[in-house]
Amino acid sequence: MSTWTRLLPGLVILGVGSGLVNASLGRLALESVPRERAGMGSGANNTARYLGGAAGVALVVALATGGGRDSASGLLAGWNTAAVVCGALCIVAALVAAACRPART
């Protein structure tokens, strides 16, 4: 059984990273559209963020509880699978974002 002190470092890193990314994404969404379409850019950013969050939660729950896991050890194994899948998806997303950057001249 883990104590809260073992979870704290990861939660701090997650919170700082999430705050930095969310602030950056909002700014980039507004910078990527003409000034007169700023509301549209902001709306698209918020819609994507909410849909991504809902899909992410659904994916984690499906992976953690899938396969008829009814014991605590089965749920823990499902949670480990969900964490690995989420980590892999983060790496893929980072590679896609890096590939989409314009070339520096």
> pLDDT tens digits for 61-77?
998 887 666 677 778 88
Torsion angles phi and psi, residue 2, rounded to 5: -90, 150
Instruction: Give yes or no for a contact between 64 and 83, defined as CB atoms under 8 angstroms apart.
Output: no
Half-sphere exposure in the Cβ direction for 10 (13 Å, CA):
7
Q: Is the pTM of this model over 0.75?
A: no
Residue 2: pLDDT band (50, 70, 90) is low
Give the pLDDT score at 16.
92
Give the pLDDT score at 90.
86
Domain locations in the chain as residue ranges: 4-100
Greater confidence, 54 or 4? 54
